[in-house]
Amino acid sequence: MKAGIVGSPQTGKTTLFRLLTQAKEDASHRSSGQNVGVMDIPDERVLWLSSIFNPERTVFAKLDIVDIHAHKGQEFLNSVRNLDALIVVIGAFMDGEGSAASCAFIDDMETEFFVADLASVEGRLERLSSRKAKPVNQMEVPFLEKCKSALDGYVPLRKVDFEPYEKDFLSNFAFYTLKPIIIAVNVSEDSLAGGDYPGKEGIEKISASRDYPLVIFSGAVEEEIKSLPEEERLAFLKEYGLSEPGVSRIAKAVFRCLGLISFFTVGEDEVRAWNIREGTTAKEAAGKIHSDLERGFIRAEVVSYEDLRRLGSMKACREKGLLRLEGKDYVVKDGDIITVRFSI
């Protein structure tokens, strides 16, 4: 899955991109004029598991991330078309003008999204009514009319309750108003400490009225955190009343908005978090690790992170009957620790 960082110029979005992809020196590369990279999803559970198993490698769940340079018009629409989520960076670290420009960017972006989605729906309805195309089945037209009604009322499609069969139709389109949006407000060091920033009231109104998660961060402070030794970072954060960096909170917000959860594989060679959608079965999760595991899936040995954390060892979990065998249709839960048994 892939998230994009968008915003009006001079908001600090490229700084945020660099901070989110800081785990690897070679985390980013250029692709079609965009910065493309990978961000780790911070997870205290991975760190604890690593402390227990002492693996050669510790790997966090990851998401692809793109720094979108275009900020309006068809070029912008083309750039974000295939993204799964958007992080809108608001520059509130100088004066109210930056916040106002960013709020205007959000309004313009939403308008472009509604216009583009409505054009897609009306275009498809026109082709079907003129018999230039055939419907997928008899339910396609009612589905399109449902979408049109929502868009005409300025209701984004992510707010529409679709039936399971209707979600199959959605895969035939790249609707913009389906994309989850996170607002990341880039404030000054003083604003981060004081809790206030230029344009706060208007930004919070947008967040609340449109149900966009809001995360406050300071690019300047994040750069300073990055330069500190690991053991000094928590004390530094506490000076601002924070328990974790802004980039961690932004990464987690994106993860939640995408409806993702993590399961873990553990061992002496590697402790790894894998990101999957809620509702994924054990067999499908095995395919996330390797296609051979899905093809030859027999069963999964499963224990919850909470049980392992409470009892302290796999042996203790087994003795308490908490290490269980699950079949291919078991729905994986967030925090499951899984060992796949398979045969090819």
Look-up: residue for tokens 């913009």? Answer: 176
Domain span at residue 160 reads 109-178
* Pair 165, 186 in one domain: no
DSSP SS3 for 297: strand
Look-up: residue for tokens 């490698």? Answer: 57
Predicted confidence pLDDT, tens digits, the chain (344 residues): 899 999 998 899 999 999 998 744 444 555 555 788 998 898 999 999 999 999 999 999 999 999 998 888 999 999 999 999 999 999 998 777 888 889 999 999 999 999 999 999 999 999 998 888 888 788 999 999 999 999 999 999 999 999 988 988 998 899 999 999 999 999 999 999 888 999 999 999 999 999 999 999 999 999 999 889 988 988 999 988 888 999 999 999 999 999 999 999 999 999 999 999 999 999 999 999 999 999 999 999 999 999 999 999 999 999 999 999 999 999 999 999 999 999 98
* Pair 229, 89 in one domain: yes
Provide the b/e sequence for 228-255 (b: ≥16 CB within 10 Å): eeeeebeeebeebebeebbbbbbbbbbb
Residue 27: its pLDDT value, please? 45
Q: How far is CA 342 from the centre of its chain?
A: 31
* Pair 150, 207 in one domain: no
**Radius of gyration for the alpha carbons in the chain, expressed in angstroms and rounded:** 23
State how many domains the chain has: 3
* Pair 207, 73 in one domain: yes
Residues 6+ apart with CB under 8 A from 18: 28
Is this prediction's pTM over 0.85?
Answer: yes
DSSP-assigned states of every residue in 85-98: EEEEEEEESS-HHH
Question: Residue 310 falls within a domain, yes or no?
Answer: yes
Residue 32: its pLDDT value, please? 56
